[in-house]
């Protein structure tokens, strides 16, 4: 975790025994353990908050994309409906040709 080799660990242990004293080492280790546990909890809490934030921002981005897709869909549907109406009007006009002004019989003999 901290990348200590065995000789470095022994030097730290000897310095701790000399500086703290052998009677207080269990109390110091207990306090150090609580500190490490608290730091791990804080790291977990910050990671969780970051994940929640990223998920919320991803959801917001997905909502924007979804809204845009729905907008494009309704635009396409409206344009298609308009084109179909124009097509129907054109086909009705072609089926019932307007009478000729000269009173002719539309080319039939």
- Write down the pTM of the prediction: 0.43
pLDDT digits (tens, 9 = 90+) for 1-54: 567 788 888 898 888 888 988 899 899 889 999 999 999 999 999 999 988 888
Q: Are 36 and 44 in contact (CB under 8 A)?
A: no
Rounded Cα distance between 95 and 33, Å, is 91
Determine how many CB atoms are found less than 10 A away from the CB of residue 87: 10
pLDDT at 97 over 70: no
Rounded Cα distance between 30 and 11, Å, is 20
Backbone angles phi and psi of 96, in degrees to 5: -115, 85
């Amino acid at each position: 975790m901290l990348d200590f080799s065995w000789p470095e660990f022994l030097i730290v242990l000897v310095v701790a025994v000399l500086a703290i004293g052998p009677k207080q080492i269990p109390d110091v280790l207990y306090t150090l353990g609580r500190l490490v546990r608290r730091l791990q909890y804080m790291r977990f809490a910050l990671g969780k908050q970051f994940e929640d934030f990223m998920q919320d921002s991803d959801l917001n981005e997905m909502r924007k994309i979804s809204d845009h897709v729905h907008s494009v869909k309704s635009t396409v549907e409206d344009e298609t409906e308009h084109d179909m109406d124009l097509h129907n009007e054109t086909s009705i006009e072609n089926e019932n040709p307007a009478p000729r002004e000269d009173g002719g019989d539309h080319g039939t003999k």
